[in-house]
Amino acid sequence: MITREPTYSDAAGNAWVGVWRAAVLELGSIGRAGSMTAQSLVMLPLLLATRRSRRELARQLYITGIKSLALITIVGMFTGMILGLQVGLELRRYNQELYIGSAVMVSLLREMGPFMTGIILAACVGSSMAAQIGTMTVNDEIAALEIMSISPVRFLMAPRMAAMVLMTPILSFYTCVLGVIGGGIVGLTQLNVPWAQYINMAMDVAHLRDLYVGLFKALVFGIVVTSVSCYEGFTTTQGAVGVGQATRRSVIVSILLILVLGYIITRLFYDL
Amino acid sequence: MSLKTNNEVFTEVIVGLFMTAVLGVLIYFTIIISGVEVFGGKSKVPVTVLFHDVGGLKERDSVVLRGMPVGSVNAMQLQNSGVRVTLSVQRDVVFKEGYVITVCSGSLLGGNYLLIEEGAGAALPAGTTLTGQSPKNWMRDLGEIVGKLKEATEGDRIKQILVNVEDASSSIKALAARVEGGKGTLGKLFAEDNALYNDLSNTVANLKSVTGKIDSGTNSLGRLLNDDGGVYADLSASIANLKAISGRLEKGEGTMGKLLSSDDTIYRDLQETMARVKSVAVRLDNGEGSLGKLMKDDNKVYNDLDATVANLKQVTDRLAKGEGTLGKLSADEQLYNDVHGLVKDVRQTVDNFRDTTPISAFASLIMGGL
């Protein structure tokens, strides 16, 4: 069962026992989240099996993608503008502000696009997932599902996972496009870089490999956010307070994992 | 303390352990291959190097050996006459006599690294304080070059250069016009008139013909090139003869050999002869001796001879004309006969006197005694 009694029923005898129990519990939590993630990924094809599940998938796609679009647009645009301004100000010292297109494009494709998308989805969609599932958990709705032999992972987590797996790379690409446009606007208005020249410089350095690595990174971030958020939701306890804590933890852990995994993926794909 | 004996929980712990281990391995490898050695990496030893000038070298800059990073700069400290730099270098790097340590620029925009050349002599003992070479100061060198350029182009020199460039441009323009007009050899080459091309074509055809003859061996050069070894044998024999001659010359045989040999008898004889010739020439030049007097610039002897010859001519003319006694003697046969008869008579008289001399002498003695 996803919802279950605490592992330890008695109090820890001393500090070392407490540390040991905490380590075991953390490892168990990680393993549980990993198992849930694996199950949800395996169940993704089943979402296309029934009409109800397809409708649920479409609903999750709408929530994840369309409802986040406004925020993603603003964040993506301003991310590009900030990048263009900062890089342009530095390059202007060497009269090389023409190269902001290259810097903005490379930064967004490789790192900033997926990273900002992951952060936004963790804050918007992930927290919403954790709160929704957490509320269901504290209201024993998850337990009811399990009693009815309905897998909560398949019923609740798999559609959200599918939606995030599909939408995160798309939103990441969208962020990159808007970021490049934002950088171009700053270049045009603040640094006197002609638009055509900005685009030429940006396209010169844009390689498909950078795009693919960025999209892969976004895919991983989507899986991480969904896994963390759903896990936090499924393990929520202590009523409304627990829901708040689960929501907060889901955002914190998601952002931390996005940062750590972002670095690892970047390092694995790019040699020094 | 009791862990619920729940297989599901145990499985979750194992999965969690596995995921944590995987994440740890990923982090370890990504940090290791980034160049940061988490667990110390290869064993390293400190090396101290003294520099007069480090040219912007900073702590944590790389130390490179044969293009491969082998350590980093740990610490830098100013000393009285330079900078004491402490490196952390892999233990297997051995410094030998003739080593070179230089601060190199990583790029034009900055960044330095320390380049090591280990040297080829005997290995230096561990802990030896090494000496590094000061880096080249690009900006200073560039400044000097600019200063020299400025010095070379100050005043009216730029104007003069521009005037020269303008003149050169005019010349090139005129030259281009000539070429365009088909004047000169180059112009003819570019001209539509194919005369030069035809000449060249004919020349090439001639060359082809000549090379064909050479190739076929129908002329002297061709025979030389196509010879089956006879000429080579002759040349070889000639060279052998030359070798023999040169051998004899080297041995000092024959006149040429003696001339070329270390025996300088002939040389000394020649020198002596030349000295004598010189002495004679000096005497001739000074007008000494009969020949010298003849060669002297004043024409006294010549004039005397000329006058004598004139007198002789006059005498011979008179003789030819039969003037004077001698002339008459040579021209008048009667006189010759008379003189001839006179001579005969005188001879007879003398003979007669010779015959009568004893009688006269005796008669004188008698007559004297009386």
Give how far A24 is from chain B: nearest CA, Å: 7
Across A258-267, B26-35, B101-110, B171-180, least confident range? B26-35
Give how far A266 is from chain B: nearest CA, Å: 9
Cβ atoms within 10 Å, residue B335: 14
Contact between A30 and B14 using a beta-carbon 8 Å cutoff: no
The answer to whether residue A158 is domain-embedded is yes
Same domain, B36 and B58: no
B2 has a pLDDT exceeding 50: no
Considering chain B, what is the average pLDDT of its residues?
A: 80
The answer to whether residue A69 is domain-embedded is yes
Cβ(A220)–Cβ(A265) below 8 Å: yes
Mutation target vs B (from A35, A37, A234, A256; most B CBs, 10 A cutoff):
A35
Residue B24, chain A, CB below 8 Å: the answer is no
Q: How do B130-131 and B44-51 pair as beta strands?
A: parallel
Contact between B1 and A21 using a beta-carbon 8 Å cutoff: yes
Residues in A touching B9 (Cβ below 8 Å) = 7, 28
Alpha-carbon distance of B229 to A53, in angstroms, equals 102
Alpha-carbon distance of A98 to A205, in angstroms, equals 13
List pLDDT tens digits, range A110-156. 899 999 999 999 999 999 999 999 999 999 898 898 889 888 998 89
Give how far B135 is from chain A: nearest CA, Å: 25
pLDDT of residue A252: 95
pLDDT of residue A165: 94
Residues in A touching B34 (Cβ below 8 Å) = 267, 272
Q: What is the mean pLDDT of each run of 10 residues along chain A (272 residues)?
A: 62 81 85 89 87 89 90 93 91 85 92 93 93 92 88 90 93 94 92 90 88 93 94 88 92 94 87 62
Domain containing B22 equals 1-41
The answer to whether residue A9 is domain-embedded is no
Q: Which residues contact A215 (CB under 8 A, 6 or more apart)?
A: A114, A169, A172, A173
Cβ atoms within 10 Å, residue A174: 19
The answer to whether residue A1 is domain-embedded is no
Residues in A touching B26 (Cβ below 8 Å) = 264, 268
Domains held by chain B: number: 4
Mutation target vs A (from B12, B19, B37; most A CBs, 10 A cutoff):
B12
Contact between B19 and A24 using a beta-carbon 8 Å cutoff: no
Across B166-180, B186-200, B201-215, B242-256, least confident range? B186-200
Same domain, B101 and B133: yes
B278 has a pLDDT exceeding 80: yes
pLDDT of residue A11: 74
Mean pLDDT of B195-206: 82
pLDDT of residue B297: 60
B163 has a pLDDT exceeding 70: yes
Residue B30, chain A, CB below 8 Å: the answer is yes
Same domain, B160 and B126: no
In terms of phi and psi (left: phi > 0; alpha: psi -120 to 50; beta: otherwise), the region of A236 is beta
pLDDT of residue B4: 47
Same domain, B65 and B135: yes
Range list of β-strands (E), B66-158: 68-78, 83-90, 100-105, 112-117, 130-131
Contact between B12 and A29 using a beta-carbon 8 Å cutoff: yes
B244 phi, psi to nearest 5 deg: -65, -40
Contact between A35 and B11 using a beta-carbon 8 Å cutoff: yes
Q: Would you report the helix, strand and coil content of chain A in percent, each value rounded to 5?
A: 85, 0, 15
Alpha-carbon distance of B51 to B47, in angstroms, equals 13
Residue B36, chain A, CB below 8 Å: the answer is no
Residue B154, SS3 per DSSP: coil
Sign of CA dihedral A129, A130, A132, A133: positive
Tokens read off for B307:
């006058």
Same domain, B60 and B136: yes
The answer to whether residue A6 is domain-embedded is no
Give how far A272 is from chain B: nearest CA, Å: 7
Nearest CB partner across the interface for A34, out of B1, B3, B15: B15
The answer to whether residue B22 is domain-embedded is yes
Tokens read off for A225:
């956010």
Cβ(A34)–Cβ(B15) below 8 Å: yes
Same domain, B49 and B8: no
The answer to whether residue A19 is domain-embedded is yes
The answer to whether residue B269 is domain-embedded is no
pLDDT of residue A159: 92
The answer to whether residue B340 is domain-embedded is yes
pLDDT of residue B37: 54
Residue A195, chain B, CB below 8 Å: the answer is no
Nearest CB partner across the interface for A17, out of B1, B17, B23: B1
Contact between B16 and A31 using a beta-carbon 8 Å cutoff: yes
Longest C-alpha distance within chain B, in Å? 218
Mean pLDDT of B136-162: 79
Domain containing A66 equals 15-269
Same domain, B55 and B77: yes
Same domain, B86 and B117: yes
List pLDDT tens digits, range B90-114. 888 888 888 999 888 776 666 788 8
User: What letters, b where the CB count within 10 A reaches 16 and e where it falls short, cover A80-106?
Assistant: bbbbbbebbeebeeeeebbbbbbbbbb
The answer to whether residue B257 is domain-embedded is no
The answer to whether residue A192 is domain-embedded is yes
The answer to whether residue B198 is domain-embedded is no
Contact between B15 and A12 using a beta-carbon 8 Å cutoff: no
Residues in A touching B12 (Cβ below 8 Å) = 27-29, 31-32, 35
Contact between A268 and B13 using a beta-carbon 8 Å cutoff: no
CA–CA distances in Å: residue B250 to residues B216, B245, B269: 43, 8, 21
pLDDT of residue B11: 80
Longest C-alpha distance within chain A, in Å? 70
Mutation target vs A (from B4, B5, B13, B18; most A CBs, 10 A cutoff):
B13
Residues in B touching A17 (Cβ below 8 Å) = 1
Residue A267, chain B, CB below 8 Å: the answer is yes
Residue A14, chain B, CB below 8 Å: the answer is no
Q: Which residues contact A47 (CB under 8 A, 6 or more apart)?
A: A53, A54, A56, A57, A158, A159, A162
Give how far A16 is from chain B: nearest CA, Å: 12
The answer to whether residue B203 is domain-embedded is no
A208-234 vs A127-138: helix axis angle to the nearest 10? Answer: 20
Q: Is A37 exposed, middle or buried (0-12, 13-18, 19+ CB in 10 A)?
A: buried
Cα pseudo-dihedral B66, B71, B75, B76, rounded to 10: 0
Alpha-carbon distance of B153 to B171, in angstroms, equals 23
Q: Where are the alpha helices (DSSP H) in chain B?
A: 7-32, 138-152, 157-180, 184-190, 195-216, 220-226, 230-251, 254-260, 265-286, 289-295, 300-321, 324-331, 333-369
B41 has a pLDDT exceeding 70: no
- B172 compared with A9, residue with greater pLDDT: B172
Domains held by chain A: number: 1
Residue A96, chain B, CB below 8 Å: the answer is no
Amino acid at B368: G
Residue A51, chain B, CB below 8 Å: the answer is no
Contact between B3 and A28 using a beta-carbon 8 Å cutoff: no
List A residues 15-44 in contact with B (Cβ-Cβ < 8 A).
17, 21, 24, 26-32, 34-35
Alpha-carbon distance of B346 to B338, in angstroms, equals 12
Residue B33, chain A, CB below 8 Å: the answer is yes
The answer to whether residue A257 is domain-embedded is yes
Contact between A29 and B14 using a beta-carbon 8 Å cutoff: no
pLDDT of residue A272: 57
Alpha-carbon distance of A247 to A132, in angstroms, equals 9
Residues in A touching B22 (Cβ below 8 Å) = none
Residues in A touching B7 (Cβ below 8 Å) = none
Tokens read off for B306:
């000329």
The answer to whether residue B282 is domain-embedded is no
Q: How do B44-51 and B83-90 pair as beta strands?
A: antiparallel
B369 has a pLDDT exceeding 70: no
In terms of phi and psi (left: phi > 0; alpha: psi -120 to 50; beta: otherwise), the region of B101 is beta
- A85 compared with B54, residue with greater pLDDT: A85
Number of A/B CB contacts below 8 angstroms equals 68
Contact between A28 and B16 using a beta-carbon 8 Å cutoff: yes
